[in-house]
């Protein structure tokens, strides 16, 4: 069966970390995968997470299966973080949540749910987007299309082309939007642009699917949810795939959620039942630990305050690195204006480096960034800033 197989291509993001690990160069720098590092280059376990884990270790009484949709307390905490406790979507009960293995698990379940209910729906992805998006929805059996997103000339959002593309989507198609900290560009719609996108989606009868993986890394936990909340319409349907990999640093615990917003509480419950059918044949029910940690932290006022402060620290360090990156590039003699990097939000900088320059960075300087020119700012430190900016200056 496997004898004549040709080699599978490496993953465009995780494959780079595999190559990085094999690289013997002692000066190597990995700015590919979106993982936060502190000033000393470590990816720490948050103190709020450690405290919750200690409590769980003492109080956990069973390793019995969770239900197919996961912990109810986790689902409620997710919805309140996404929409706010007082939001109509939460108070009406017309949102239902399934705990999933990471945001990727949520996206796959969402894809399979759409495929089961509306098999002819196309999923519209931003150009560019996270490289895994296309693979996930294709694997779920859906057709994928793209809408323009990034305007290289202005280093901003191509809002008019984006809206014209949505005008061409068929009613019932799915539009995937990044709630904040767009991956890979770091360019997000303004509040006015969110309104225009929301109005077009509503008028065209499209289904918004919001990928929310970086809540708190842009401008703040609540501020980063403004786009999602702008998409909420009375009785309007919506899917949200969220993740706690980044803002809780729970990468390897695989903690995510699919939240289904339906016209009514009864419709949400029914839709969740169909999502549960997809889950059962995929991974049966979710892993418990990460969800229990998140639910414990969010339910405890002291731990929650500690976590919010830790998110603010991560956000502040990323923004400080953005500024230092732009300053250091200039100090190393780079003439091109990179000040637009300071306007981008979240973990990533979309540098504008070409695939040839990205390859040269890796081959000649052992600096690993994603082929699109995406650089993980959250992996920059004061210690690696000099060498990395020198390498970029050299390939430019």
**Residues near ligand LMR (CB under 6 A):** 13, 33-34, 130, 132, 183
CB of 76 to ligand LMR, least distance (A): 26
| Tokens standing for residue 87 | 């939001």
Q: Using an 8 Å Cβ cutoff, are 352 and 379 in contact?
A: no
Q: Specify the residue, 41 or 205, whose C-beta has the smaller distance to ligand LMR.
A: 41
Q: Which residues contact 225 (CB under 8 A, 6 or more apart)?
A: 81, 82, 83, 84, 179, 180, 212, 215
Q: Specify the residue, 17 or 195, whose C-beta has the smaller distance to ligand LMR.
A: 17
CB of 32 to ligand LMR, least distance (A): 7
Residues noted as catalytic: 130, 211, 246
Distances (CA, A) of 302 to 246, 258, 354: 21, 27, 46
| Residue whose C-beta lies closest to ligand LMR | 34
CB of 263 to ligand LMR, least distance (A): 32
Q: Specify the residue, 174 or 370, whose C-beta has the smaller distance to ligand LMR.
A: 370
Concatenated DSSP letters of 177-206: EESSS-TTT-----HHHHHHHHHHHHHHT-
CB of 198 to ligand LMR, least distance (A): 25
| Tokens standing for residue 300 | 């405890």
Q: Which residues contact 66 (CB under 8 A, 6 or more apart)?
A: 99, 285, 286, 288, 291
Find the angle CA(144)-CA(241)-CA(16) to the nearest 5 degrees: 70
Q: Specify the residue, 135 or 220, whose C-beta has the smaller distance to ligand LMR.
A: 135
In the beta sheet, which residues pair with residue 257? 99, 242
Phi, psi dihedrals of residue 16, rounded to the nearest 5°: -70, -35
Which of 181, 194, 215, 200 lies closest to 345, judged by CA?
181
Q: Specify the residue, 34 or 290, whose C-beta has the smaller distance to ligand LMR.
A: 34
Instruction: Indicate the pairing of strand 367-368 with strand 29-30.
Output: parallel
| Tokens standing for residue 385 | 């800033």
Q: Is 17 exposed, middle or buried (0-12, 13-18, 19+ CB in 10 A)?
A: middle
- Rounded Cα gap, residues 19 and 6, in angstroms: 19
- Rounded Cα gap, residues 256 and 104, in angstroms: 8
Q: Using an 8 Å Cβ cutoff, are 250 and 49 in contact?
A: yes
Q: Specify the residue, 109 or 230, whose C-beta has the smaller distance to ligand LMR.
A: 109
Q: Which residues contact 199 (CB under 8 A, 6 or more apart)?
A: none
Q: Specify the residue, 34 or 227, whose C-beta has the smaller distance to ligand LMR.
A: 34
């Amino acid at each position: 069966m496997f004898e004549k197989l040709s080699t599978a291509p490496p993953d465009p993001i995780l494959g780079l970390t595999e190559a990085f690990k094999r690289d013997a160069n002692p000066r190597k720098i990995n700015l590919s995968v979106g993982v936060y590092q502190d000033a000393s280059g470590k990816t720490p376990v948050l103190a709020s997470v450690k405290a919750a884990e200690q409590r769980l270790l003492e109080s956990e009484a069973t390793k019995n299966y969770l239900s197919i949709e996961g912990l109810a307390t986790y689902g409620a905490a997710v919805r309140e973080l996404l929409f706010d406790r007082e939001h109509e979507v939460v108070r009406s009960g017309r949102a239902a949540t399934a705990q999933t293995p990471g945001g990727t698990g949520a996206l796959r379940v969402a894809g399979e749910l759409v495929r089961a209910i509306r098999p002819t729906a196309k999923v519209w992805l931003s150009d560019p987007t996270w490289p895994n998006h296309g693979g996930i929805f294709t694997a779920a059996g859906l057709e994928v299309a793209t809408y323009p997103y990034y305007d290289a000339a202005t280093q901003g959002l191509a809002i008019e082309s984006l809206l014209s593309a949505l005008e061409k989507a068929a009613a019932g198609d799915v539009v995937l939007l990044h709630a904040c900290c767009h991956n890979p560009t770091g360019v997000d719609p303004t509040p006015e642009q969110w309104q225009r996108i929301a109005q077009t989606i509503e008028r065209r009868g499209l289904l918004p699917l919001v990928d929310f993986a970086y809540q708190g890394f842009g401008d703040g936990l609540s501020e980063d949810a403004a786009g999602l909340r702008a998409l909420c319409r009375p009785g309007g349907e919506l899917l949200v795939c969220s993740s706690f990999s980044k803002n809780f640093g729970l990468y390897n615990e695989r903690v995510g959620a699919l939240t289904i917003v339906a016209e009514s509480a009864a419709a949400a419950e029914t839709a969740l039942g169909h999502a549960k059918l997809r889950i059962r044949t995929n991974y049966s029910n979710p892993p418990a630990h990460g969800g229990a940690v998140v639910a414990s932290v969010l339910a405890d006022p002291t731990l929650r305050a500690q976590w919010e402060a830790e998110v603010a620290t991560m956000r502040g360090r990323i923004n400080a690195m953005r500024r230092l990156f732009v300053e250091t590039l200039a100090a190393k003699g780079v003439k091109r204006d990179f000040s637009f990097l300071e306007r981008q939000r979240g973990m990533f900088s979309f540098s504008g480096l070409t695939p040839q320059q990205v390859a040269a960075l890796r081959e000649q300087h052992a600096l690993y960034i994603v082929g699109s020119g995406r650089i993980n700012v959250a992996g920059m430190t004061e210690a690696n800033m000099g060498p990395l900016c020198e390498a970029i200056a050299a390939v430019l």
